[in-house]
Amino acid sequence: MADCPVCTEKKTYEDENIAMLTAGSVTLVVPKQHYPIMEQTPDFIIEKMFIHANHTLLQMFEKGAQGANLIITNGVSAGQTLPHFAMQLIERKENDGLFPLWNPRKLDEETMGAIELKLKEACQNIGVWEEQPKPEEKKEEKTETNETYIKRYLRIP
């Protein structure tokens, strides 16, 4: 998309389906095609993004990172500000002051039970993944070898 900063930004890596941008110690793994949120991104692209992100995390550790976060802010309510779905890989250091963890809450048993039932029902279709679209099959050009020529014209079975 022409007005999307991720679509138009120069990439540090790209292949057919995914790309990476780096800004300081933040690396973004994104689908090449414009998808606003995770739920709209095809399963096979999600899969590739996570595999590539994980390889990148490994490289971070091999280069001496003390720790790293993989964060997905999905939706405006979650703090998503980029219009393009992105996974954030962030190298961490001791006392860097980034991302203080949440305050844990205590919910009563009735509330927890109700949430459990709702989510369980909503999760029933998980496991049926979208298939990757197949590329158009190229027609094989038949090339005649000497052997097939001989067999054809000399009628050798």
Partner 1 sequence: MPEEQCIFCQIASGAVSARKVYEDEQIICVLDINPANPGHVLIIPKDHYSVLPQFPDELIGHVGKVIKHMSLAMLKSLGIQGTTTFIANGAVAGQRAPHIIIHLIPRAQGDGVFPQPQVSQKRPVSDKADLDKITEVLSG
Under DSSP, the state recorded for 23 is E
Question: Which of 107/150 has CB closer to partner 1?
Answer: 107
Question: Which of 112/150 has CB closer to partner 1?
Answer: 112
d(CA 107, CA 75) in angstroms, rounded, equals: 25
**H or E element, residue 49:** helix 43-62
Q: Which two tokens stand for residue 12?
A: 């540090």
Q: How far is the CB of 15 from partner 1 (least distance, A)?
A: 15
d(CA 33, CA 129) in angstroms, rounded, equals: 19
Q: Could you tell me the CA-to-CA distances from 6 to 1, 85, 107 in Å, in that order?
A: 9, 9, 39
Question: Which of 95/146 has CB closer to partner 1?
Answer: 95
d(CA 26, CA 106) in angstroms, rounded, equals: 33
Q: How far is the CB of 103 from partner 1 (least distance, A)?
A: 8
Under DSSP, the state recorded for 157 is -
Q: How far is the CB of 51 from partner 1 (least distance, A)?
A: 5
Question: Which of 118/151 has CB closer to partner 1?
Answer: 118
Question: Which of 78/150 has CB closer to partner 1?
Answer: 78
Q: How far is the CB of 12 from partner 1 (least distance, A)?
A: 13
Q: How far is the CB of 119 from partner 1 (least distance, A)?
A: 4
